[in-house]
Every structure is written in C-alpha cells, then in structure tokens.
Structure 1
Amino acid sequence: MTILRNYRGLLRVAGGQVGAATSGAAFWLVMAWILHPVAYGHLSWLISIAMLISAFTVLGWGKTIATYYPKEGRNELLSGSVIIVLTASLLAGAVTSLVLDPAVGLLGIGLSLFSLAVYSDLGEQNYARYMWMWIGVRLASFILAVAIYLWWGMVSGIVAGLAIAYLTFGSRILKHFCINPGMREVRGKMGFALTTLGADVSTGAVNLLDKVLIGLYFGMAMLGFYQLAYRIFVALTILPKILLFYLLPEKSAGRRTTGIEILGILISVGLAGLTFILAPLVIPQLFPDFTESIGAIQIMGLAAIPATIAGVKTSELYSRERARVVLGSHLVALGVGVAGIMSLGKSFGLLGLAISMLILQITLAASLTFSPRLFSRGAVANKMVVGLASMTLAAVLLLSYLNIQPLQIEIVGNKVRGTGTAMGTFVAITVVHEKTEDAEAAIAEAFEEIKRIERLMSVQDKTSEIYALNHSGTDWVELSPEVLHVLTRAQYYSSLSGGAFDITVQPLMDLWMEKTKERGKMPVPDELSEALELVGWNNLIVDGDHSRARFVKYGMEVTLGGIAKGYALDRAVEVLMESGIESALVEIGGDLRAFGSKKWRIALQHPRERGEWLGVIELEDGAIVTSGDYARYFFLGRRRIHHLMDPRTGYPADKSISVTIITNKGIDADALSTAVFVMGPEEGEKLLSSPGIKGLIVAPDGEVIKSESWNFPLASSRP
C-alpha cells in the first residue's frame, strides 16, 4: 500500500508538472509564431524579471512549509508565512510597477502568492489539488495572455494576462490570512527560511539571470534565439521539477525513493540524446526563422542530465534541513554561469551562451553532490567549500569589472590599441607610435572626446543638448557651437539629397524600432500618418546668429544617429593629432577614419553573407562609413525592419541594402552613406559623382554599383 501511495502521489505531482509544462510550452510556441524574435526576447526578459522578484519576495517560506508542515502540521506556520510574503510582494510589486512596468509588478505579486499556495499543497501532501492548481493556472494564463495581446497588441498585455491568472489562482492562499497570527512558529523557522531564501534567490538567478543579462548585453534578438533553445531545455527539465516537488515531502516524511531517482536520471539521458538527434531535423520545419537556435538547442538539451541530478540532490538536502549547502552550491554555479555568459557569449555568440548554461548545470550538480561530503568532514573542509564559493564569486566580480572598464589597452610593439564602448557601440582606437606611454595617453583623451560628444548629442541622456531640444515643444533652445555645427551640416545634406537625409525621423524610429518591435505587428495607417506629420527637416529652425534652434511643430524630435558618429570620428582624430600622434585608425561602430602614412587594410562586409567580404581596400588618409540594413534590424514575418528610415514614405528604406562612402571627413561620409542608402542606386549615383567622394552601392538584387572615382578592387579575399 505504501508503494502504491508513493506512486499515486508521484503521478499527481507529475501530472501537475507535465500539464504545466505542456501548456507552458504551447504558450511559448504560440508566442514564437505571433511575435518576431526581438519581441519574443523582450517578453522573456520581462517575465524573467518578474520571476526573480517572486524568488525574493517568497522569502524562503514556500520550501519551509513543504519541509516542516508534513512533520508538524501547525497552521500557525501557514498564517504567519502568508502575512510576511503578502507584505513583501506588495512592496516589491509597487516599486517594480513604478520603475519598470505595472504588469511586471502585478505578475511578481501573483507568482509569489501562487508559489506559497502550491507549496502549502505539498506540505499538506494534497497532490491532487497541487496538480490542478498548476494545470489551471497555466491554461488560464495561456488563454488570457493570447486574448489580451490580440486585443491590445502589446507585449505588456501578455504579461498582464499572466498576472491576472496567477493572482486569481494564488489568492487561494489568502484564506490563511490572519490579522493577529501566532508568530512563534514563524520565528522558530526563521533561520531555515532565510537560508532557503538565499537558495531560492540563487536558484532563481541560475535559471533566470541569464535571460536578464543576455537581454541587456547581447540584445533582445539574441535573447529571442536563446529563449527558444531555453524553452526546449525547460521542457526537458520537467522531470527534475517533478522529482524536486515530489521527493521533498516524501524524503521529509522519511520514505525511500532510490528507485524513482535512478529511473528519472536514465530518462533524462534518453531525452537529451533524442533532442540532440532530432533538433536539426525538426526545427527547420517548424521554426524556419529560428534555425540559428539548432546548435544551442542540442547543447542545452544535454544540460537536462545534470539538471535532473541537481533536482534529486536538492530535494535530499532540503529534506535533511541542509539548505546552506544548496545555497552555497547555487552561488558557485551562479558565478560560473555569469562568467560563462560574459566570456563565452562574447567570444562565441549564441553557442557560447548555450555552453555556459551546460557548464552551469554541470557545476550545480557536482557541487550539490560533493559539497555535503566536504561539509561533513569538519571545520577545515567547511572553510574549503566557503573558500571555493568566495573565489568563484570573486572571479565573477573581476570578470565583470574587466568587461565594464571604459577603455582596455593592448600593446604590440609600437602599435597601441584601445577598445571600449561609447555612443551605444564598439570603439577602437589604434595608434602607431614609438612612445607607447604617450600613445596610451592620447588614446585615452580621444576616447574621452568621443564620450563627451555622446553626452552632448545623445537622445536618451537627459543632460544632453539634443534631449533638451527634443523636449522643448516649439520653444527656442540655446545650443553649443558644436551641436549647431552638426545640425547645420545635417540640414545641408537634407537639402542636397532632396530630403532623403533627415534628422527629424525620430518619431518614425520610435514607431518602427520600439512600438512595432514590442507589438510584433505592422503599424496601422493612422499611426504612420501621425508619425510622418512630425517629420520634415525644414520644420527645424537653426538660428546660428543667436546660437539656438527650435521646432515648428509640437512633438517633433531629432536623432543624430546618421551624422554624430562621423563628427566624433573627426574630433577623435583632431585630439590624436594635437597629442603628437602621426598615424592612427579610429573606429566607432564600423565607421572609420585614418590619418598618417600607414595604409590600413579595411574589409567591406557583405550585407547578406555573414563572414564574407565585398572586398578589401587600403585606407591611408580619410574616412570610410557604411550604412546597411544588416546591423540593426529584426524580421516581421518575412519583412526586414531596420533603423534607416525613408522620411518620404515613413517606411524603412528599401532601395539599397548597403552603401559605403569614402571621403576626407567622417561627418560627410556618415551623412552621405545614409542619404544615398535612402535614395537608392538611381538617385544616389548622382551624389556619388561629386568631387572627393567615392561610393559603393549594393542594390536589393545584389547588384554592386560603383562611383566613377571608386578605384578599389572588389574581391572575396579576407583582410
């Protein structure tokens, strides 16, 4: 009878987890069909933040209930836990709603209450109710999220649908709410709960922090591809979750579960192998836009094996009230995972991120398996384990420090190279100089000059002059000579190109690169018309005599993304020259300017074939800038949406796929490359006939059009 009871309970826990995972998988598959990868990644990012908040606000009381209630059966523990978790989740939800998104704050509250509710079911060993709670909330969240999205058309609507479902099902735990609960039981379990909180937060970080970091550092498109692979990994980890949720109360009650544990590990091995074989066959058929995820799916599928072992070991340690070991193991794994994301992801992209997940799960399983043995061998071993965790975290902090340094210097002979980030992109300054110390100082000054220009001309920085102009309505705004100079040059190229180059396209950028990304739908005609009403370079009045500018129409905004980097290139070169540097190459996000006697070999990226080149040129003294639809883009169905807007139509420009301009100055090359890209080959060739300009246009059909002055060979050789 005991064996029958064990398996009946296991089947109900399994039913809950399988039902939840099945509906969850269906949810993410449907989202992949109706959202483009960027919005898909953004949704994952928001939900991950809500789940991390929930891990904090449950404060360890869920597992505390599941561990102690089967042994003691005291209702005071339930009522005290409800008071604490409800208070914490309401406070965290309010802050999140104000700082990020109200829907994310509500979802965090709902997840916290639901988590406490299902753990109370486990504590009471009411496996049937546990099963239906999971199945019910997942089905409700699926239906509500899809319905609200189809009605509202925003990713926030999907999150709101999830929040409503979890709040509805989680509110059942409030029946244990009591105004004056007896807190003695809670105080007696406080130490275990706090240790469990650390383990829960570290577990949440292990499972969720990767999405948050990838979204921040690698972009939402990369996160979208990673998320599909991760969701398949989650489907494969149904088994570890079943084992954890079922084994915890069973082990706490003193029952043997060895046979179930071995069976679970063997099944995970089979599932991982099956995923590795089937991924290349199935993904291209079901998700042709996600074929980049195949390698990541295979690698992360293997991670299901150590994840299963980790689930078994975690339940064993909790049942023995050894939450500190779980906490330490998750901290070690978290450190390894973050280090992997920042190093492997940077070096190998999506595959590197998947490998970091596999290494994280292996580290977690190994630590949960071997750390208890070390702890059982006395104080010296305890110090070894603590030292290992400390060293791992120290390594992560060091790696993070190195990754956020504003400028990193590399010296090879008389060549000094400084790299960093500015203006939202990668910056590299390479100097050839005999005195390396002088070269380092000059590079630092040039880099700071680029940062200064960013602070002057940023759209997002609230202290910048461009931000002040964009938020001035139609009032005059006093501007510095530099900003006035860039605005004046922008208007010159607007006039020269017949309006193809227009810095007032910021409303179109907001519509296409923000709203359309989030909704995953094409703008409706009224939205496009409203945005176009606010575009027009001749409605920006620049008064150089009085050092000021203003808009004619309220709501207009400018973006200097098509000209500011070129100006920054020129200023960086001037700073290097003033420092006595005779030869250097400055790069800002692929835009380059060189000076001096050295010839620099520059590869021209093929706009459609990754890793292939249109040709290699030698740049000695001048600027080279390329505008293309392959750097910042996303797909909406089969349509490529990118950041180079045609101010005449309101749509992303589609007459070119790549334009390269070579001129003496960066500011001219930057503006011309954008203008010619929007104009297309037929109109753009006229601009390329001007003296001192060399240009290359790649048309949508792949035809390459060269200006008459272009004297560089086009070859497929690598630099």
Structure 2
Amino acid sequence: MGLFGNSNLLKNIGSIGLVNIVGSLISAFFWIYLAGLMGSEQYGLLAYYLSIAGIFTSVSLIGGPMVITVFTAKKIPLTSTICLISISTSILCSVILYFVLNNVGISVYVIGAIIYNLSVSELLGRKFYKTYSIYFILQKTLFVVFSLILYYVMGPSGVLVGTGLSFLLFTTRVYRSFRDARINFQLLKTKWSFIANNFVLDLSYVVNGQIDKLFIGPMFGFMTLGNYYLGIQVLNMLAIIPESIRKYTLPEDSSGANTKKIKVITVFFSGFLALIGIFIVPQIFPIIFPAYTESLDLIPIISISIIPTTISTMYISHFLAKEQSFYILITSIVSIITMVLGIFTLGSLFGIIGLAFSLVLSDVSRAIMLSMIHLYQKRALSKF
C-alpha cells in the first residue's frame, strides 16, 4: 500500500497540493509586493479593512464553508438552501457596511467572498479536485490583475474591489447549485443544530484570525499594524502546504477515509517550515523590505505558530467530519481570549514583540486543548 495507502490518495493530494501551492504563492507574493508598494501605514489600514470584511463575510456565511463541504461529501442536498440564505445575508451586510464606512471596496469584497467560499466548499465536498484547481488558479490570477489596476485607480480600496471582483468567477458554480437541487427548508431544520454550531464556530474562527488587527490598528497605530501584517503574510506563506492538505483531509474524513498518516507527516513538516521562518527568512527580509524594520523582530517569533496552527487544522478536520463542532468552538473562544489578553498585556509591555508572542500563545493554547479533547475521546472509547 505504501506510505500514503494508495495511489489515488497520493494523486489527489498532489493535485490539490500543487494547485494550492501555486495559487497561494501567487497571492502571497502579491500581498508581500503590496507591502513594499504601499508603505507600512497604508498597508496596515488595508489590513484593518480586510479584518472588518472578513468578519462580516463570516456573519453572512450561514454555517460556514465547512458545513457545505461536509454535507456535500455526505450527499446531503442542502447546498442551494445555504447558498440562498448566505448570499441574501451578504447583500444586506454589504449595504450596511457601505453606509457605515463609506467604502465600496469592503462591500464588494463581502459579496464576492461569500460566492467564493460557497463554491470552493461545494467543489471540495464533491471531490471535484481538477475543477477546483482550474477555478483556484484563475481566481488568483484575476485577483492580482484586478487589484493592481484598481489600486492605482482607487488606492487601498481598489485592492478590496479587485479581490471581490475576482471572486465572482465562481458565480457559475453557485448557479449550478441552485439548478441541481431545490431549496429545502425542512431538511435544513433537521440539520439546524449542526449548522448553528458551525456558524458560531466559523465566526469564532474568523474573529480569532482577525481580532488582533482590529485591536492593533487603533491601539498601536496603523504603521505598527502594517509591520505586523507583513509578518502574518510570511506565516501564511509557510502555511500554504498544511492548508492544502487540510482542503483534502476534510472531505476525505467526512466520507470515512483514513487520513492519519498524511496528517502526521504534515505536522512534522510544519516543524521544518518553522525553522525556515526562524533562521532563513530574517536573512532575506532586510534586503527586500528595508523600511519594515519592526517586522524583522517579530517574524522569527510568529513563524513558531505554524506548528500549533497545523496541529489544530488537522484536529479541526477530524472533529468537523464527525459533526463535533462544539469542541472546536470552545477552543476558538479560549484562543480569542488568550489573544486579546496578550495584546493588552504583552503588547502594551513589549510592543510589537509582545504582539507576536500573543499570537503564538493563542495558537498554542488552541492546539493543546484540541489534542487533549482528542486524547480524552480515545481513552473513553478504549474502555468500551
């Protein structure tokens, strides 16, 4: 059987992994390029807007994207119903955001992001890995082209508009979801507990990933946020391969496949990625971004987060496949509390270094809790 169990496993992981690596690298390099183009203060302001857009996207996504992946993999025909509610909510949120912030970029981003998340989740749930790959690469290419052009026309808001427009490529997939299955609110009611849990879970997950920017910008200034956000982009680049594996394991776990070996390998590989972030990236960084001096101090610290983040991602795939989202919700809340407390204490005491440690502690706390819950479940099962 070999290391991965069978050739199809290796082929599918390779297909998703290669495409995610290429597409994510396109995106990551562009975000890093924007850092040099915009300067730290404007870059920090863009990060602040993206955080707001990300939270409202999560609010609009009823049940979160992982619900569609799980239900589709289990052949539960709820995609069209969830799409209808999510798109309607996103339009409402976009209108509210426009009048409150007077920023059309955030509004366009939210609607586009909803369409993107719904479509990608459906494609992965159906295991249409080749189709997903084509869409993914095209979207990343359009994202760079649209965002760069509109940045010169509109400024930072143009990046948001360009990103939102690139997401609209997936509109045809949403249309097919409506065409292939009728709206079924009765079936939705039978799964509402799982959907509601995942809605709160997804919102907590997104808040966990965005709340640091929402606090750092107003408290420490957008220049500091710009340096911090550039460090986050390095972390995102390191996380490309583990995230690609997660996109494979969730539908496979949901359909009952054994993904333990690939998860273990991914966690060990994350240790190697952390070493790159700690020792290699700081040697290259000053040459490319001499103006982002604060980022140089925090990147080695932030890079440590790739290990607990990867561990958490693998456990999240396991718990979601078993529709046990409550455990993920609890760990997300603990992670958020750890992050906020860290920003107010460590950030105030040690500046940007303290902010970096706050991120690491937040990710570590989540990974430890998920590991302990999984271990407890295994011990409980072994008694029967």
TM-score band w.r.t. shorter chain:
over 0.9
| 2:168 matched residue in structure 1 | 167
Displacement of 1:374: 5.0
The alpha carbon displacement at 1:372 in A equals 4.2
Is contact 2:58–2:64 with CA below 8 Å preserved after alignment?
no
2:69 corresponds to which letter in structure 1?
A: A
Counterpart contact for 1:115–1:170, Cα < 8 Å: no
Q: For the residues of structure 2 that align with 1:99 and 1:105, how far apart are their CA atoms?
A: 11
Counterpart amino acid of residue 93 in structure 1: S
Residues in 1 aligned to 2:171 and 2:332: alpha-carbon distance in whole angstroms = 27
For 2:161 and 2:132, the matched residues in 1 are separated by 24
2:73 partner amino acid: P
Residue 365 of structure 1 corresponds to 367
Deviations 1:41-71 (A, max 9, x none): 1111111211111112112152122112222
Q: Counterpart of 2:258 in 1: which secondary structure?
A: coil
Distance 1:164 1:366, change over 3 A: same
Whether the 8 Å contact between 1:310 and 1:364 is mirrored in structure 2 is: yes
1:63 maps to which residue? 66
Alpha carbons of 1:95 and 1:269: their partners in 2 closer, same or farther (altered >3 Å)?
Answer: same
Match status 1:42 vs 2:27: no
On the 8 A contact 2:147/2:162 being kept in 1, the answer is yes
Question: Which structure would you say has the larger Rg?
Answer: 1
Q: Which residue of 2 aligns with 1:281?
A: 283
What is the TM-score with the length of structure 1 in the denominator? 0.50
User: Residue 24 of structure 2 corresponds to which residue in structure 1?
Assistant: 21
Q: Say whether residues 1:355 and 2:328 are aligned partners.
A: no
Provide, for residues 319-353 of structure 1, a one-character-per-residue CA deviation record: whole Å limited to 9, x for no partner.
11110001111111111011111111111111111
Q: Is the 8 A contact 1:114 1:171 kept in 2?
A: no
The one-letter code sitting in structure 2 at the alignment partner of 1:314 is: I
Structure 1, 35-44 or 181-190: larger mean CA deviation = 181-190
Deviation at 1:263, TM superposition (A): 1.2
The CA deviation at 1:175 is 2.8
Contact 1:247 1:257 in 2 (8 A): yes
Q: State whether residues 335 and 365 of structure 2, in contact with CA within 8 Å, keep that contact through their aligned partners in structure 1.
A: yes
Counterpart Cα distance in 1 of 2:104 and 2:377: 44
Any idea what the Cα deviations from partners look like across 1:470-526, whole Å, max 9, x if unmatched?
xxxxxxxxxxxxxxxxxxxxxxxxxxxxxxxxxxxxxxxxxxxxxxxxxxxxxxxxx
Deviation readout 1:528-567 (Å, 9 max, x if unpaired): xxxxxxxxxxxxxxxxxxxxxxxxxxxxxxxxxxxxxxxx
TM alignment of 1:620-699, pairs within 5 A: none
Alignment of 1:478-517 (within 5 A): none
Kindly tell me: are residues 61 and 291 of structure 1, through their superposed partners in 2, closer, same or farther at Cα, counting changes over 3 Å? closer
Give the alignment's Cα RMSD to 1 decimal: 1.9
Paired amino acid for 1:45: Y
Deviates more, 1:369-378 or 1:345-354: 369-378
The one-letter code matched in structure 2 to 1:65 is I
Q: Which residue in the other structure is 2:33 paired with?
A: 30
Normalised by the size of structure 2, how large is the TM-score?
Answer: 0.93
Query: CA separation of 1:355/1:12 partners in 2, compared to 1, >3 Å: closer, same or farther?
Result: same
Q: Secondary structure at the match of 1:192?
A: helix
Q: 2-side partners of 1:344 and 1:20: how far apart?
A: 35
Q: How has the CA–CA distance of structure 1 residues 374 and 256 changed in structure 2, closer, same or farther, with 3 Å as cutoff?
A: closer
* 2:212–2:340 CA contact under 8 A, matched in 1: yes
User: How many Å separate the matches in 2 of 1:167 and 1:340?
Assistant: 38
What corresponds to 1:326 in structure 2?
A: 328
Displacement of 1:194 in angstroms is 0.9
Counterpart in the other structure of 1:80: 81
Q: Which structure 2 residue ranges, 5 or more long, are not aligned? A: none
Structure 2: which amino acid aligns with 1:143?
A: V
- Structure 1, residues 394-446: CA drift from partner, whole Å, max 9, x if none? xxxxxxxxxxxxxxxxxxxxxxxxxxxxxxxxxxxxxxxxxxxxxxxxxxxxx
Paired with 1:55 and 1:237, the residues of 2 have a C-alpha distance of 21
**Mapped partners of 1:264, 1:59: distance in 2:** 30
CA distance in 2, matches of 1:362, 1:63: 23
d(CA) in 1 for partners of 2:193, 2:242: 27
Please name the residue that 1:193 is paired with. 195
1:107/1:160 contact within 8 Å kept? yes
Alignment of 1:523-672 (within 5 A): none
Distance 2:99 2:34 in 1: 26
Letter in 1 for 2:17: A
Where do residues 153-552 of structure 1 align in structure 2 (5 Å cutoff)? 153-170=154-171, 172-177=173-178, 181-373=183-375
CA contact (8 A) 1:206 1:334 kept: yes
Q: Identity percentage over the alignment?
A: 26
